[in-house]
Each structure stands twice: as C-alpha cells, then as structure tokens.
Structure 1
Amino acid sequence: MKIFRRFAIMFFAGLSLIFSACSEDDVDTSYSVIKDSQTPMNELDRWLLDNYVEPYNIELRYRWEDNETSMDYILVPPKYQNAIRMARILKYICFDSFDEVTGSSAFIRAHFPKHVDLVGNPGWNSNGGWMSEGSYTLGSSEGGYKINLWYVNHLGDVLYENYVPTDSVIRSREELNKVYFHTIIHEFGHVFHQKVPYSTEFNQISGTEYLGGMWTTAFVSETDPQIYALGFVTAYSSYSADEDFAEIFSTYVCSTEDEFQAILDKAGTKGRNAIDAKLSFVKAYFSENWNLDIDALRNAVQEREANLDNVNFDTLK
C-alpha cells in the first residue's frame, strides 16, 4: 500500500504540471501529430493504378495491414512476386471475362467489391467430421465491399503427383479454381443477392434438407455421393439457401461442361432434378435482374482458363 500511495502522489503531481503547462501554451492544431508513412510507388503500384483503380475503382492491397486481417488465424503477407501473379490472373480470368460478356468495364466497376486484400497463407481450421483432417479458409467477403483472398503464396508452388513434380499452380486451371476462383465467384455471387434478393421459391427446392452447421459432419468426405443425391453441388451448398445460391453460381461458371455433367451423373434422378431446378433459377435471376448471361460468362472464363499456358503472369509488361 505504501508503494501505491507514493506512486499515486507522483502521478497526480505530474498531471498538475502537465495541465499547468497546457494552460500557458497554445496548441498548434494546424497539423496532425499522426503522420501517414509515404511509400514510393513501385512497378506493381503503377500497374494497379492503370488496371484496377482507373477502370474499375478497385483497390488491391498486398502490403500488410494487420487490422485488415482476421485475428483468429496466424497469417502472413503475400510475397511480392505472388502479389503480381494474383493481380494479373484475377484481372485476366475474372474481370476480363465479365468485361467481354457485358461489353465494358462498367459492370465490374459498379458491382465488384472495392477492396481486395491479399494474404499469403491459408487459415487452418479445426472442425468436426472429415473437415478435422485439415481444412482451411481460402477467403471471405465483408458486406459486399471487400474480398479477402488467402493462400496467395501458393501461386509460387509446384504441383506434385506421387511425389513427382508435374506443373506450377499458375498453369493449372483445376488448382486455380479450387483455391481461388471458386471462392472469388462464390463471394461475388453473394454481392448480387444482397443487393437484389432472390425469390423464396429457390429456398423451397431443397427446403428442410439444409443442414446449417451440421454440414461439416453430415458427409464422409467433400465428394460424398450423398451430397449430389440431396441436390447440392458441393458439401458447403447444404449449409443454407444463400450458400447454395452462391455455390451453384460459382460451380457452374468455374466448371467445364463435362465437369458439371459429372456432378449431375452422380446425383441420381432426385438430386439431378433439384440441381437442374436451382441452376435454371440462378440463370433466370442473373438474366432478369442483372442482364448477365452466365452461360456466356462460363464460356469466357473457360476459354481463358484453357489459355493459361500462353500467358506470362510473372511480368507486368
């Protein structure tokens, strides 16, 4: 207690000196004591200004800002070279495809989230069921104004098959869709129905079969045939109608005709009828509300993905 009293006396004496000094001196309010650090623009910054900010009014952030990332995971920033790759390939596969189908950059400028934040690694989860074997978070969206893309450093990795190197991630459309573009198109799909809600008729197609949080334990794997038999294109589709809507949109756009047909073939009659009904609903929704032909969009995306070997994503030239 004596230590506390001595500290308290010194503390309040110090405060009295501070206040007396403040009363005698005028405070200069013409400038802020908090100054932003000015980082000189590099080649990527200038490229983003020309290819993201000016045509789309979109900011892609690759420099680390911890207050922009989730505190629930241990995360790292993307490597500079992988940030270049992500910036180039996002524009090539996503933005350029929408521009082609809609006729200009106005559609992406009006609807795509204004902030894209890049994170180097995935966020490892600890879930029940088959997901406890090592699932990870690849991205998220925040209120339709921001998309977080994680695992960007994977773009620099080599793919292996039976421990033999096969190809780089940047040239594999399957890996790019699995890790990035399925997530990007999924999150973009949420933006649309948040602006213009879809009819409740969509909810009724699967009705009481949505599982909520139980979706992680209801299936034995992410390719469990029961997923398709219930009328879902992915396990996560079974979480809720909103996720089902976004997964139908994303899975269809990111799949070739043969890949989507393979899902239908696994679904059986009941499951196939449900998936077909949902897909018809989603196609009509985008056509009627956004004047967007998702068949044409899928063709544009698949054409670019088939051309990956002919584009150098390592340079900004």
Structure 2
Amino acid sequence: MTRNDALPRLALLALVAAAAAYVTVNREKLDPAILDAWLSGMGIWAPLVYVAIYAAGTVLFAPGAIFALAGGAMFGPLLGTFLNLTGATIGASIAFLIARYVAGDWVKRKAGGNLKRLLDGVESEGWRFVAFVRLVPLFPFNLSNYAFGLTHIPFISYAATSFITMAPGALAYTWLGHAGREALEGNGSAIRYGLLALGLLAAIAFLPRLIGRLRGNAVTWIVPGDLLVMSASHSPLKIVDVRGRDEFLGPLGHIPGAINIPLDEIGVRRDALLGDPEATIALVCRTDRRSAAAARQLQDSGLTNVRVLRGGMEQWNLLGFEAVRNR
C-alpha cells in the first residue's frame, strides 16, 4: 500500500476514533427524551433519521439499550422493533467493514484476548458462532462488530445472521421501552407490555445453558487410540483429512489411509464419502477446529455417522503414532 492510498484510511480511522471518544465522554447526555423531541419535528422522515442515528451510535460505541428503549417509546412495539433491528444491523455491518478494510490494527489492539476466541470460534463454526455471540452476549456488542470484520466469515453471512439472531433482544427492549411510555401516560396495558418484555428477557437469559448443551452435542469425538484400534480392526472406516494439500503432505504428515478433502471442498465432494452406510467417517485436521466445522456441514447434509479426531494430527503425533509424510 502506498502512502497516498493509506492517507484516506488513516483519516477515516481518526474520525471514527475521535467520534467514539466524544460519545464515550458525553454518554450521560444521551437522553431519549431529547431524541424524541428532536425526531418529532421530522415528520415522515423520522423513522429513517432514527435508523441512521442508531447505526451511527452503534459504530461509535454508544449504548445500544438506550436506543432500543427509545425506539419502543417513540415508535411502538412493532415498528420500533423493526427500526431498532435495522439500525443495529446497519451499524454492526458498517463496523464490520471498517475493521476489515480500514482499521484492522486498531481493532486487534482494542479486542485483545477476545479476538482470538472470536477467530477460533468463526474458524470452527462459521455463521453459527456469530449467532451464538448475538444470542449469548459473552463479548461486548459494539466491539464484537469490529472484531468479526477480522475473521474470514463472508459479509452477507455475517449481516444476515446478525439481523435474525438480534431479533429477540431487540423485541424485548423495544417492548420494555413501549411499556415505560405507556405507564407514564397512565395506560393500564403497560403492565402487560412490561411483563411480556421481561418474560422475553428472562428467556434470553436461559439461552447460554440451552445453546451450551446444543453445542456440546453437535460433534461426536473420537480419541487417537480408538481411531487406531478401528483402523487395525478393519471396521468400516473412512478417514478424511480436511487440511489443505500442503498441510496434508507437510511436517505433521497424515494418518495412513486418509484421503484429503479440504474443508472448503467438503460440501461439493460429499458424494465421495457415500458408500457403506455403516462406515464411520473420521475427520482430521491440525487440531480439531476445521474438522469440527466439516462434521457440522456433513451432519447438516444428512450424514450421521461422523466423528472428529480430538486434538487432530498434533495429538496423533504427540502420542507417537505413525504418520505419513512427504519424504
């Protein structure tokens, strides 16, 4: 990259950083009542202006709950939910693109240790990990928007998954904001709105345990010793190494008898794994992240007798088992 090419990116990064710092310092001045009064003069343009403000606030690390509650108070539970969800998705998408094309180094410093967890999660599970992070807020929402831009997930998958999986939270906070306004106006239905919103928030609170169980059951593991026994016993078995060809023939080598189908080809080469319906398909990679992702792809396509080698070739070699190498 030349100096002239870098200047616009640096200028945009500086602008975003300065605006984010301003919003952080003046966070207490973000008053929904002021926003409501200002938007009331916008007429039919108020929804579009609100979405734009919400999106900008997301990019600048403004608290999303303030906007979500304000949207419910100003636009009601249905339109407010749609506007909140749209604004949050647009803002999350802009942050994603800024990180991917402009501010990668800054995001790496800001994210710290969380970034590796995100990178590993996306490498292993793709869009499923984005859904998990959206449904279970283990990472700060505004920062995760930027951090996802440094992963390999396609933009469309990221944006679509975010829109769908942010819906429950957007609905709950919007209804809560609507209930608050109704209560202030003396509307008896406010209690019903509030209970509905609190019930949905309670359901979201139980999602970590539920998703944790589902994630734990998604992959069936096999340890190197058991795989070695299966290979020696002539059980119906197909060992599939999902690394690239260079890794397959590289220093770690591969398990004798394994076939090489890289992860990005698993879907299109699924038919090569069909045959004996009783055969076990054992998936292998360097550790076990890519093989776990391949297992989920195959399970989604209808193959059930799929196993993932725990620890991959690193563990296989660590235990002293024979590996074929490109000598």
Q: TM range, normalised to the smaller chain?
A: under 0.3
Q: Which has the higher contact order (CA 8 A, sep 6+)?
A: 1
Name the structure with the higher helix share.
2
TM-score, length-normalised on structure 1?
0.25
Q: TM-score, normalised by structure 2?
A: 0.24
